[in-house]
Amino acid sequence: MIQQNVVKVGMADLNISSDGGTLRTTGLGSCVGLILFDERSRIAGMAHVMLPSSEIARESSINLAKYADTAIPELIERMKGAGATTSRLIAKMAGGSQMFAFAMQSDAMRIGPRNVESCKEMLMRLDIPLLGEDTGGNYGRTIEFDSTRGILLIRSVQLGIKEI
């Protein structure tokens, strides 16, 4: 997909596009790339969520984009500021891989699956429908969201290109 207006979203970052652009993030392993989209206004947002909960934060100033429980509300606020309507938001997501195999499957080592669970819990709590996902597995992904078509493009070395 080649578009001139590409908004890059880094790790533990979030951003919006309100002018028909494409949102892109790379390096999704255990991280989750979460898309929120208001189709009527064509306002899209993407968060690159690294961890499930800000309760484990050790930094004095929390990076809201880093945690599922803080990134999603922050993304909604930014989108509303650009003219999106919360009741029209839909979600798509990708990532949440279990990148490494461990002999003991402690909850602390399940970062990818916990990120997915936490994002889904927040979406449910906020009454935002999840219309598509490509999560799990043990491989990395790069995603692009085309806000003109409402399509999430997922690229992985193992499985090629997929659209949801």
CA distance 118 to 124: 10
Query: Could you say which of 31, 75, 91, 152 is catalytic?
Result: 31
Active site residue 119: no
- Order of all β-strands in the sheet with 6-8: 6-8, 22-28, 141-146, 151-156, 160-163
Q: 80 — phi, psi (to 5°)?
A: -65, -40
Q: How many CB atoms lie within 10 A of CB 59?
A: 8
CA–CA separation, 107 and 54 (whole Å): 16
Q: Are 25 and 10 in contact (CB under 8 A)?
A: yes
Nearest to 142 by CA among 2, 27, 55: 27
Active site residues: 31
